[in-house]
Amino acid sequence: MKQTGKSILIRFQKQWQIWLWLEVFLYAFSSAILVWFLTQNWFLSLISFALIFVMALLFKKPWEIDLEKTSNYIDASSNKLEYSSWLLLQEPTELSGLAKLQQQKISNALEAEIKRIKPEHHLKTAIITSVLLVVIGYLGFYTGISEIFNFNRNAISEEENMSFEPIDFLAVKQQVPVLKNQLVTINHPSYTGLTTTSTSKMNIKALEGSRVTWNLQFDASVDSVSLESMGKHRKMMKTNLSFSGSTTLNNSGFYNFKFTDTSGATYSSDLFTIEVIKDKTPVIRLDNLKQFTSFEYTDNKVLNFGALIIDDFGVANAHIIATVSKGTGESVKFREEQLEFDTPVSSGKKQLNLSKTIDLDQMNMEPGDELYFYIEAKDLKQPKENTARSETYFAVIKDTINYGPGVEGGLGVDLMPDYFRSQRQLIIDTEKLIAQSGKISKEEFNSTSNDLGFDQKSLRLKYGQFMGDEAEGAIANGGEIIEDNDHDHDQEEDPLTEYSHAHDSDNEHNLVADSHDHDQDENKEEEGPLADYLHDHGDPESSSLFTDSLKSKLRQALNIMWDAELHLRLYKPEKSLPYQYEALELIQEIKNSARIYVHRIGFDPPPIKENARLSGDLKDIDNFNKKEERDDLDQYLSIKQTILRLEELKISDSKPKDTDRKLFKKAGNELAKKAIAEPGRFLKTLQQLKQLGERQQISQELIIEVQKGLLKALPKIALEPQRQGSFGGKLNELVLKELELNE
């Protein structure tokens, strides 16, 4: 659609205004980012954004760009418009004929000229300036120059202020030095990529392996400052009125500061917590993969799956450890390989989406071979990385020749007799007979087919005996089949009744079911209410060696053998063959349904030194020493002794001895284990217990508070049943006897 001259001017005007608004925003936004990097204060950053935005807005004035100013700018930028673009703003009804022609001419010329005319702006300068401001702010933050502008960094709030108290009030001879500034700098491990953080809070929470530096500045001269942490003392370095010290965090714990003024008086601070965060191991998740996968020899033996690996600071490497087992029994062999993912592993990423395709044929696997594999991933932690591994997955190629002994109920015995494997021989003979069709006489073909049907029947009857069934038409007696000749031969019979498995017959299942239901109703009361829930070993359906799921499969195989035998008796072996294959598949599933796969790991003994072998030299043989911690030892023995000792000090109002201070120190170590887990509950008690061991004179109030805190730390005593004591004495017996007589 062709645009009019006025619409072109309006579009140019809006584009011009947008460029100016964008310049204003870039100047304001970059200034706010610079202020945030320097001060770490969002409030100041927002104020600077608003201030620079208003100043740039008043300087650029994008609202003053109207159509008249746009027309003048376009006329000045093109000689082909003949300074007549203002005609495009007029209505055609207000112009003369010559002016209308000029308006049409200018409209056509403007449509061609507007493509090369650009609005007047300084967006490129605004972008360069914004980038420079952001880079300057980042460099100031990274190098620490921003500390000069960070007014709140060194300002200590009342909650964060670290206070010192003298250990001995009598030793104080001058004004106590006041802590002016306190700063904790945490340098995280380099592999994390985290920036250095600084704070005035003394309670530290950092990653394991972080380097922590303390800096304390006093308003007066101090002789020495030491850092105490978990029984260790570290003297801090002095620089004018400032003291600094650093350590690497490996374990959680507590710490405090002590300083000595120029007169020799010692002051101690409160206790502060150190919480060390452990680097988490990578998390591995697998998609589209079953725990156990089996393949037929003719299948496409390929495994396709995806793996999602996540780590908090980045994954270093990931691969697949695969083990192939060949053979059975004592001749089993293992081959271990390390497989790489199809997707390249990018070291340092926090999340990896990997995929892998494992072709069992390319791994030279044959029928009966088994594949065990799992995924192993390592993160970037130094000096020792964290290693994670997934669950073990299995892939098996079914063996079509020999299946090893089945494992039922945890017993490694072969429950399958030899004749269970003759179904395969029947299939081979049937295929051989089908191949000879047309080459042998019909009488020989039918005779052979009938013989195979008899073999199929014998196999089916033997399966039924193994299931606990009785022989068909006879009673199994010592392995012999006694024929039942009591049938009424006068009644006309179907010649195929003996070999067909008629599910819809009225005189088979239905009649049996009716009689069974009828007998069950009559004997229901005699069996008892729990008869349906008991495992009756006299029941042939429950007397086999198989579980219910295996019995149902074997029963299904017996039903299929009926059809296989029927077609063999009818001299149609080609129709019998599919049923025989189906029966064989069910038998094989029964044999392998409970097979157990164990990931075996071979034992590699250390190499034998031939020069020391059989020499009898025992100089490098040391005695075996074993240390064992008993669980029955009281973990709170010192705390209990401290409670009793504090009670004695409270009653006697005496000063603590050196032995008492050692006892308080042991109790503090026991309490520190609970205080690490619950600092808000036991940290104050731990601090007060530390003061008991340092002060020469302790107050009654302090003893009472420490006793209460130590009693809370003791675990609750589990109540044990005890025999109640009885009243004794001749008088008590007489009173009880009188009470019984007067009831």
185 pLDDT higher than 90? yes
Q: Decide if 631 is inside a domain.
A: no
Which of 358-362, 420-424, 734-738 is the most confident on average? 358-362
pLDDT more than 90, % of the chain: 15
Report the interhelical angle of 42-60 vs 5-39 (nearest 10°): 150
How far apart (Å, rounded) are the C-alpha atoms in residues 732 and 565?
A: 93
Instruction: Please state at what angle helix 97-113 crosses helix 5-39, rounded to 10 degrees.
Output: 40
**CATH (domain of 382):** 2.60.40
For 131-169, write each residue's pLDDT tens digit: 998 888 888 776 656 555 554 444 455 556 777 878 776
| Residue 444 vs residue 625, higher pLDDT | 444
Are residue 93 and residue 71 in the same domain, yes or no?
A: yes
Tally Cβ neighbours within 10 Å of residue 601.
9
How is 436-487 classified by DSSP, letter by letter?
A: TTTTS-HHHHHHHHHHHHHHHHHHHHHHHHHTTPPPTTEEEETTEEEE---S
For residues 46 and 29, the answer to whether their CB atoms sit within 8 Å is no
Please name which of 402, 208, 159 lies closest in space to residue 313, comparing C-alpha atoms: 208
Q: Residue type at 377? A: A
57 and 31 both lie in a single domain: yes
Residue 285 vs residue 526, higher pLDDT? 285
- Confidence band for 17, pLDDT divided at 50, 70 and 90: confident
Domain boundary among 247, 277, 307: 277
What letter represents residue 495's amino acid?
P
Q: Indicate whether 324 and 363 sit together in one domain.
A: yes
Of 376, 397, 418, which residue constitutes the final position of a domain?
A: 397
Give the per-residue pLDDT at 100.
59
- Residue 588 is predicted with a pLDDT of 78
Pair 196, 215: CB distance under 8 Å = no
SS3 content of the chain, % helix, strand, coil (to 5): 40, 20, 40
Residues 546, 432 share a domain: yes
Note if the bond before 606 is cis, omega within 30 degrees.
Answer: no
Residue 133 sits in the same domain as residue 51: yes
SS3 of 660-707: HHHHHHHHHHHHHHHHHHCHHHHHHHHHHHHHHHHCCCCCHHHHHHHH
Q: Which of 2, 3, 4, 8 is nearest to 78 (CA)?
A: 8
Asked if residue 719 belongs to a domain, the reply is: no
d(CA 205, CA 186): 9
Q: Say yes or no: 180 and 137 in one domain.
A: no
Residue 415 has pLDDT above 60, yes or no: no
CB 372 within 8 A of CB 360: no
Retrieve residue 377's tokens. 């991933």
| Predicted local distance difference test score (pLDDT) of residue 412 | 39
| Integer angstrom CA distances of residue 275 from 189, 240, 245, 268, 272 | 16, 31, 18, 21, 10
The DSSP secondary-structure symbol of 197 reads: E
Determine the average pLDDT of the residues in 683-697: 79
* Domain presence at residue 576: yes
Determine the residue type at 138.
Answer: Y
β-sheet bridge partners, residue 206:
276
Burial code of 645-681, b = ≥16 C-beta within 10 A, e = fewer?
A: bbeebeeeeeebeeebeebbbebbebbbebbbeebee
Q: Lowest mean pLDDT: which of 1-15, 358-372, 520-534, 705-719?
A: 520-534
Strand, helix or coil for residue 632: coil
Q: Which residue has the higher pLDDT, 378 or 107?
A: 378
The answer to whether 634 and 667 have CB atoms below 8 angstroms apart is no
Q: Is residue 420 part of a domain?
A: yes
C-beta neighbour count of 216 within 10 angstroms: 23
Q: Are residues 19 and 75 in the same domain?
A: yes
Q: Which of 397, 422, 437 is the last residue of a domain?
A: 397
Task: Name the band, by pLDDT with cuts 50, 70 and 90, for residue 186.
Answer: very high
Cα–Cα distances in Å, from 431 out to 574, 576, 585? 8, 10, 17
In a domain? residue 613: no
| Nearest CA-CA partner of 162 in 185, 147, 179 | 179
Residue 549's pLDDT is 65
- Asked whether 72 and 44 are in contact (CB, 8 A), the reply is no
Query: What digits encode the pLDDT tens for the residues 233-264?
Result: 889 998 878 899 999 998 888 888 988 888 88
Average pLDDT, rounded, for the chain: 75
Phi-psi map region of 162: left, alpha, beta (phi>0 left; psi -120 to 50 alpha): beta
3-state secondary structure of 335: strand
The mean pLDDT of 573-586, rounded to a whole number, is 90
- Co-location of 202 and 248 in the same domain: yes
What pLDDT, on a 0 to 100 scale, did the predictor assign at position 187? 92
pLDDT of residue 441 exceeding 80: yes
CB atoms near residue 306 (< 10 Å): 15
Q: Encode burial over 606-622: b for 16+ CB neighbours within 10 A, e otherwise.
A: eeeeeeeeeeeeeeeee
| 119 and 178 co-located in one domain | no
The DSSP call for residue 87 is G
Is residue 731 included in any domain, yes or no? no
* Residues contacting 688, CB < 8 A, separation 6+: 702, 705, 706, 709
Between CA 719 and CA 182 the distance in angstroms is: 50
Determine the pLDDT at residue 633.
66
Q: Do residues 365 and 242 share a domain?
A: no
- What was the pLDDT predicted at 695? 75
pLDDT tens profile 335-377? 889 999 998 898 889 999 999 999 999 998 988 889 999 999 9
| Residue percentage of the chain with pLDDT more than 70 | 69
CA distance 517 to 506: 15
Angle at 597 between CA 595 and CA 599, to 5 degrees: 170
Q: Name the residue among 151, 139, 141 with its Cα closest to residue 38.
A: 141
The answer as to whether 194 is a domain residue is: yes
When mean pLDDT is compared across 172-186, 523-537, 556-570, 634-648, the lowest value belongs to 523-537
Distance between CA atoms of 393 and 358, rounded to whole angstroms?
A: 12
Q: Which helix (H) or strand (E) holds 211?
A: strand 211-218
Residue range(s) defining the domain that contains residue 642: 637-713
pLDDT in the model for residue 727: 54
Statement: residue 3 has pLDDT above 60: no
Whether residues 423 and 457 fall in one domain:
yes
DSSP 346-372: -TT-SEEEEEEEEETTTTT--TT-EEE
According to the model, what pLDDT value does residue 469 have?
A: 62
Phi and psi torsions of 37, nearest 5°: -60, -35
Cα 537 to Cα 513, 543, 545: the distances in Å are: 22, 5, 11
Encoding tokens for residue 88?
């495009």
Domain annotation covers residue 508: no
CA angle, corner 152, sides to 185 and 46, nearest 5?
Answer: 115
Name the DSSP letter for residue 159.
T
Is it the case that residue 44 has pLDDT exceeding 70? yes
Q: Does 238 share its domain with 102?
A: no
Number of separate domains in the chain: 5
Strands (E), 219-291: 222-229, 232-235, 237-239, 242-248, 253-261, 266-269, 272-277, 283-287
